[in-house]
A and B are shown apart, each in its own frame.
Chain A
Amino acid sequence: MRTAPRLLTAAATALALLLTGCSGDSGDDDGKITLQFQSLAWQKESVDANKALVEEWNATHPDVKVEYVQGSWDSVHDQLLTSFEGGEAPDIIHDASDDLADFAYGGYLADLGELLPDRLKSDIPKRSWQTTTFGGKVYGVPFLQEPRVLIANAKWLKKSGVRIPTPEKPWSWEEFRDVSEELGDGEDGKYGVAWPLKEPVSATLNLSLSTGGQMFHRGADGKVDVRFGEADEIMPRTVHDQVNDDKSASGTTLGMGGSDTLPGFFGGKYAMVPLGFSYRQQIVQQAPKGFDWQVLPAPAGSEGLAQGVSPQTLSVAEDSPHKKEAAEFIDFFLQPDNMVKLARGDWMLPTGKEALKDPALRTGKHDWAAGTALAEDLRSAPAQSVRGYPEWKDKVATPAFQEYYSGAIDLDELRERLVEDGNLVLARYQR
C-alpha cells in the first residue's frame, strides 16, 4: 500500500508540471514594477477608500503598479506567517501593531527607518511610532488608532442629572463608580454600565495606563517582569466592585464582545458601554430611530486620559525586492488627506498630526470631535513588544481576570496568578 501515496504524488506532480504554464505569478514586465498591497479593510467605505487610493497611485505612477489584495482580520496572522515562510508575502502589509512583534523578531519585516521620508516621520507622533518600534528598528507605520470610550444613553444621563464628563474635565475612576451606581444598580434590570470583557486583558492593560498602571517592567538587562502594584489595581478593582458589590455593572455582559452588548444598550438596560470608538458606526446603523447617544471619555487617573492602543499599520516585507517603491507608496497612501479618507472609512482616528486637524474629524456629527480630542493621550499598548506576552495573556491573565471580575477570586489571588505564574511564563522567553 506504500505505493499508493507515491503514485498519487507522482501523478499530481506530473499533472502540475504539465499545467505549470497555465498559472503563475505576475512578474515585472517591461521593466515595470508590480507591488502587492494586502489590505485588511473590510467595511464598504473603507474598502472603497483603499481601492480609490490604489487606483490614483496607479494612474500617476505608470512604472510602479500596485495590486490590491484583500486580506481579512480574522486570519491575517496565520496567512501572513505561511506567506512569509513560503517567500510569497505581499510587498506592502496591512496589520495591527500588536501582531507585528513576532514577525519583526522573526526577520520577516523590513526596517523602515531609512526608507520613509521625513514628512511622514515627523507627521506621526513619537508615541505612535513606539507601537511599531522593536529593538530600535521601525517595522511598520502606525496610521489608524481608536481609543476606548464610554458610549452613553444621552437621555438617561441627562435625566439622572449626573455631571457629564468632557476631555478637559473627565470622571475619575472613583467618580465613574459613583455615577454608575447612581445611574442603575440592577434593580428593574437596569445597570449603570455594561462591561463587555470577553477579551479582558487588553482592555484592562490599556485603560490602566490612565492610573499609571504598567504591569510590565523592563530592567536594565532588557528583561521584563510582571508587577501588579497599586496603580495597576485601580481599574480592575473598579470593575470588580461595580459587578460584585454595587451591582451597577451587569455580570452577564462580562463574557460578551462589544457588539453583543448593543441590543441591551439600545433596549435601555445599560446607561453606558465602554467600547472602541469605531463602534459608533454600528450604533448609527442599528440604534432605534430617535435613540440619543453620546461619546464620553473613559475615566481618568493620575496620568489623565492616557490609554494604550494598538494602531493599524503598514509594513514592508523583508523579502520584497522593491522596498524603496513600497515605502513611496506608503508615503502617498498616508498623505494627510488620504489618512482622513481612511479614518472616516473605518470610523477611527488617524495618527497623523495634519490629518487630525481636518474639519471632517472635528465635527460634532457622530461625536467625531469627542474622539479626536483624545488622540494626544493615546500611547503604545503595554506589553506589545514583550516576548511571551501572547502566552501570558492566554494562559494566565485571561482566566485570572475573568475569574476576578466575576467574583470567583479576590485581588490577592489575582495578583499572585498574574505575577507568579506570569513571570514563570515570561522567563521561558528571556533565557
Chain B
Amino acid sequence: MMRTKKSTRAAQYVALAAYLVFLAFPFLWLISTAFKPARELGSLDPTWIPKDPTLENFRQAFDEQPLLQAAGNSLVAAVSAALIAVVIATPMAYVMARHRTRLAKAATGWVVVSQAFPFVLIIIPLFLILKNLHLINSLLGLIMVYVVWSLPFALWMLVGYVRAVPAELEEAAAVDGASRVRTFVSVVAPLLAPGIVATAMFAFITAWNEFFFALVLLKTPEKQTLPVILNRFIGAEGVADLGPLAAAAFLATIPSLVIFAIIQKRITGGMLAGAVKA
C-alpha cells in the first residue's frame, strides 16, 4: 500500500475543510439571521455574529404562525410515510433483487422512469382521486401520497442493499432447513438494517421537506405542515419577512438534524453496504 505524502494529506484536509465550510455556510447564515434584529438585517455590512442578538424573530414567528402544530403535522406525516414506505419496499426489493427476471428488470426501469414525472403532471388526477375518497385536507391522504411518491426510490435503494448481501448466506440457511420467510427475517433483514435505516431516512427527509402536495391537499391551518406554514412568511413579489422566516426555518431543520445525529453511524454503514456491487 502506498503511503500518502504529507503534502497530499494536507491538501485533502484543506479540500475537506473548504467543502464543509461550503456546506455549512447556508445553515450558519440562517442561524445568524434568525438572531439578528430587523435593523441589523438591513445593514450594508453583514456580520456573522449578531451585534445585538435577539429572540424577537422567534417570538414573532411563533406569534404569527402555528409552528408547533405544523411541526407536529410534519412529524406525523414524515414518520408515517417513512415507516410505511420501508415496510412495503423491503420485501418488494428482496424479490426484485433475488429474482432477476425480465419482469423484475422492467420494474426497475419503471421505477427509474417514474422518478422523472413532474409534480404538476400528477397533482390534478391525484387531487381528484383523493377528493373522491374524501381525503382532501387530511393527513392520511397526504401520507398516502408521500408513501407512493417515495416508494420507487426507496425500492431502488433497497434493491442495491439486498444485492450486497451474499446469496451464499441464504443458501447456507436453506441447507439448514430454513424456509424462504425465515431466511429473509432471520438472515437477510438483520444485514439489511443499515440500508433500511438509510432508506427510511430518505423517505423521512423527502416528506419532511415536501411543499407542493401539502400546499394543494391541506387547506386548514390545523392540518398544514411546516413547509406550507414557512411559505406564509413570503409575500407578494417575493418580499420576505426575513427575521421570522429565518427563525422558523432554523427550527424546522432541528428534527432532521437530531434524527441524523442519532442514526448517523447506521446510515454510513448502510450507504457503504449499498455501494457494494453484487
Contacts and interface: CB of A to CB of B under 8 A. Distances in A.
Interface of A: 1-2, 4, 8, 12-13, 15-17, 19-20, 22-25, 36, 40, 42-44, 47, 69-70, 72-75, 78-79, 82-83, 85-88, 96, 199, 257-259, 262-264, 266-267, 269, 276, 278-279, 282, 285-289
19 contacts: A12-B144, A16-B130, A25-B137, A44-B60, A44-B64, A70-B232, A73-B234, A74-B238, A78-B120, A78-B215, A79-B216, A86-B128, A88-B127, A88-B131, A259-B240, A263-B46, A266-B42, A267-B43, A285-B38
Contacts of B24: none
Interface residues of B, number: 58
B140 interface: yes
Interface in B123-146: 123-124, 127-128, 130-131, 133-138, 140-141, 144
B108 to A, nearest CB: 8
Interface of B: 38-39, 41-46, 60, 63-64, 88, 92, 96, 103-104, 106-107, 110, 120, 123-124, 127-128, 130-131, 133-138, 140-141, 144, 147-148, 151, 211-212, 215-216, 219-221, 228, 231-242
A264 B43 CA distance: 8
Contact of A1 (B38, B106, B144, B215): B106
A177 B204 CA distance: 56
Contacts of A24: 134
Contact of A16 (B63, B140, B232, B242): B140
A72 B234 contact: yes
Contacts of A22: 138, 140
Given A2-B103, A79-B215, A257 B238 contact: yes
A47 B241 CA distance: 14
Contacts of A199: 237
A36 B221 CA distance: 13
Given A23-B137, A42-B232, A70-B232, A286 B127 contact: no
Contacts of A79: 215-216
Given A1-B103, A78-B120, A47 B148 contact: no
Contacts of B211: 75
Contacts of A69: 219-220
Of A16, A17, A43, A69, the most chain B CB neighbours within 10 A belong to A16
A390 to B, nearest CB: 15
Given A47-B64, A266-B43, A25 B140 contact: no
A266 B231 contact: no
Contact of A4 (B92, B237, B240): B92
A12 B239 contact: no
Given A4-B107, A16-B135, A266-B43, A85 B144 contact: no
B239 A287 contact: no
A1 B134 contact: no
Nearest to A263: B44
A74 B128 CA distance: 23
Contacts of B137: 23, 25
A88 B133 CA distance: 13
Chain B interface SS verdict (over half): helix
Contact of B233 (A20, A36, A42, A85): A42
Contact of B41 (A43, A73, A269, A286): A286
Contacts of B240: 259
Given A4-B107, A74-B231, A257-B237, 5 more contacts: A8-B88, A70-B232, A82-B124, A257-B238, A286-B39
A87 B129 CA distance: 12
A348 B119 CA distance: 35
Of A1, A74, A75, A285, the most chain B CB neighbours within 10 A belong to A1
B196 to A, nearest CB: 18
Nearest to B102: A1
B127 A74 contact: no
Contacts of B212: 75, 78
Leading 5 A-B pairs by shortest Cβ distance: A267-B44, A1-B107, A286-B42, A23-B138, A86-B127
Given A1-B103, A69-B219, A85-B124, A13 B133 contact: yes
B240 to A, nearest CB: 7
Contacts of B242: 259
A19 B128 CA distance: 17
Given A23-B135, A25-B134, A85-B127, A42 B103 contact: no
Contact of A42 (B44, B134, B241): B241
B148 A73 contact: no
Contact of B235 (A2, A16, A73, A263): A73
Contacts of B42: 262-263, 266, 282, 285-288
Contact of A269 (B44, B106, B136, B215): B44
Contacts of B44: 263-264, 266-267, 269
Contacts of B110: 1
A259 B131 contact: no
Nearest to A85: B124
A170 B264 CA distance: 64
Given A8-B151, A72-B234, A263-B43, A17 B241 contact: no
A269 B153 CA distance: 50
Contacts of B38: 285-286
A74 B148 contact: no
A264 B147 CA distance: 47
Contact of B141 (A23, A78, A257, A285): A23
Given A8-B88, A72-B231, A263-B44, A96 B236 contact: yes
